[in-house]
Chains A and B, each alone.
Chain A
Amino acid sequence: MSQVIVITSGKGGVGKTTTSANVGTALALSGRQVVLVDADIGLRNLDVVMGLENRIVYDLVDVVEGRCRLRQALIKDKRFDGLFLLPAAQTRDKSAVSPEQMKKLTDSLKEEFDYVILDCPAGIEQGFKNAIAGADRALVVTTPEVSAVRDADRIIGLLESHGISNTQLIINRVRMNMVKRGDMMAMEDVVEILAIDLIGVVPDDENIVVSTNKGEPAAAEANSLAGKAFRNIAERVEGKEIPFLDLQADSNFVGRLKKVFGFGH
């Protein structure tokens, strides 16, 4: 049963595109047929993050306006079996497509793929409405900041009013040491406010910046903690029960020793 999943947040810069790229990659790694759709028309990024920018010939707007067939616009990621990208147009804006057209597009993608992952633009305007038009479920990305949580709350309300109730939460860029000091909202606080199911917590990881710039999804890197978190999210998307990562794991030797002897928390 294939699914259309929209990845959204309301606020910009919390990691929607990174999450889309990594969750999509992780799903493809576990053998699924996945297409990543960049719904951020005019401000496309997903192709850059995936390192596929130089292979774009046709884009989403070309498909919608009938200048090419859907197949022609899909870019196959040669590194990962079963992973495709449908890029957004860069020279147009959000008004170039309508929610009805997006619904039609996702419906036809659904026939060929197990997962259609939509990278939603920031905001609640036309771009958002386009992105959620054909979605079966949503992953709401937030960071543990008051402003991001506030926007996520608004987005969850809007998703509900559009009839998307299968909504789960990803908390991105968690810095455990700051949480411990009480300088950052704890995961529990975020979940308490938003009152939806948590599907993943991604630690703040410098390597993400590096891999994003290189166009190589971190989910494919075996020893990246954030990559591991994204792979876990992908498994939970598939309905598997995976315990949450222990982000409190101290990386130094003394910390690990303390833990072994029960002095940890």
Chain B
Amino acid sequence: MGEENLVVFKGTAEGIMVLLDENADFEEIMDNFKQKLEQSKAFFKGSKVTMRFKGRSLNRQQQDRLLMLLANQNVINISFVHAFETESSEQEDNHLAWVKEQLDSQYASLSHFHYGIVRSGHHVDYQGNVIVLGDVNPGGLVTAGGNVIVLGALKGKAHAGLNLKNDKPFIVAYTMHPIQIGIKNSIAQSPNGEFICGTTTNCPQIAYLHDEQIYVDQIDFKTLNHMLK
């Protein structure tokens, strides 16, 4: 059965790496691990090591059982067990590369700038804030974890605050004629197809959430007070 290879110990610069077989039954791995520990009693004697598990993804229960096994043995003096990996290291590297790339790019802040018109069928999405330097046309969609600011006319759809942890998300547009707007879990549409926003149309409007209700108003002291209340 080649049971010997289900668990492999590897010495690395930072301690012991334990490679677990990816396909074998977990019970067999546990047995094999116990055996391997007994066998290497002499080798580990008296040393203090850190341990990292690799090679297969483990669910919560399996992780607990491994830790229990380590706690109840008297072979190795383990000073530290590295966090279990849920992703393969390749993915981790990719992730790190992505983070680096993001930090180097122009979107290093939590804002994404869209230059030009968001046309029908176009979806601009970002986890942070989205600033559109142009119109959002009917059929266009802007979604943001944070706020949406349209330096033009909002005639399509916009949804702000998709990251629910975001406090007081808002949508600002120079002309507010959206087909639909959403903030957090609330969605609003105008009864007659267009929002009628006050008497002046040349000043920017803000849409915000208050008591689960979406309000659209021009930006002034009163509105901001109401929004932040």
> Is A150's CB under 8 angstroms from B138's CB?
yes
Q: How far is the CA of A193 from the CA of B119 in the complex (A)?
A: 9
Tell me the chain A residues, 77-99 only, with Cβ under 8 Å from chain B: none
Contact residue among B117, B122, B138, B139 (Cβ-Cβ distance under 8 Å from A195): B117
> Is A151's CB under 8 angstroms from B135's CB?
no
Q: How far is the CA of A132 from the CA of B62 in the complex (A)?
A: 56
Q: How far is the CA of A150 from the CA of B139 in the complex (A)?
A: 7
Q: How far is the CA of A146 from the CA of B137 in the complex (A)?
A: 12
A interface majority secondary structure: helix
B interface majority secondary structure: loop
Q: How many A-B residue pairs have CB under 8 A?
A: 30
Q: Say if the beta carbon of B121 comes within 8 Å of chain A.
A: yes
> Is B122's CB under 8 angstroms from A157's CB?
yes
Q: Say if the beta carbon of B190 comes within 8 Å of chain A.
A: no
Q: Say if the beta carbon of A156 comes within 8 Å of chain B.
A: yes
Closest residue to A157 on the B side, CB-wise? B119
> Is A154's CB under 8 angstroms from B117's CB?
no
Q: Which residues of A contact B137 (CB under 8 A)?
A: 153, 193
Tell me the chain B residues, 97-126 only, with Cβ under 8 Å from chain A: 117, 119-122
Contact residue among A153, A158, A160 (Cβ-Cβ distance under 8 Å from B139): A153
Query: What sequence of 0s and 1s flags, for each residue 129-151 of chain B, a beta carbon within 8 Å of any chain A beta carbon?
Result: 00000110111100000000000
B137: shortest Cβ distance to chain A, in Å?
5
Closest residue to A193 on the B side, CB-wise? B137
User: How many residues of A are in contact with the other chain, CB < 8 A?
Assistant: 11
Q: How far is the CA of A154 from the CA of B139 in the complex (A)?
A: 8
A169: shortest Cβ distance to chain B, in Å?
13
> Is B135's CB under 8 angstroms from A195's CB?
yes
Q: Say if the beta carbon of B155 comes within 8 Å of chain A.
A: yes
Q: How far is the CA of A135 from the CA of B139 in the complex (A)?
A: 26
Q: How far is the CA of A69 from the CA of B74 in the complex (A)?
A: 86
Q: How far is the CA of A35 from the CA of B75 in the complex (A)?
A: 86
> Is A150's CB under 8 angstroms from B120's CB?
yes
Q: How far is the CA of A151 from the CA of B138 in the complex (A)?
A: 10
Q: Which residues of B contact A150 (CB under 8 A)?
A: 120, 138-139
Contact residue among A153, A160, A195 (Cβ-Cβ distance under 8 Å from B120): A153
Q: How far is the CA of A156 from the CA of B134 in the complex (A)?
A: 15
B23: shortest Cβ distance to chain A, in Å?
42
The 10 A-B pairs at the shortest CB distance, nearest first, are namely A157-B119, A153-B120, A154-B120, A154-B121, A153-B119, A153-B137, A157-B122, A150-B120, A150-B139, A195-B117
Task: Write the residues of chain B forming the contact surface with A, with a CB cutoff of 8 angstroms.
Answer: 117, 119-122, 134-135, 137-140, 155
Task: Write the residues of chain A forming the contact surface with B, with a CB cutoff of 8 angstroms.
Answer: 146, 150-151, 153-154, 156-158, 160, 193, 195
What 7 additional pairs, Cβ within 8 angstroms, besides A153-B120, A154-B120, A157-B120?
Answer: A150-B120, A150-B138, A153-B121, A156-B119, A157-B122, A193-B138, A195-B134
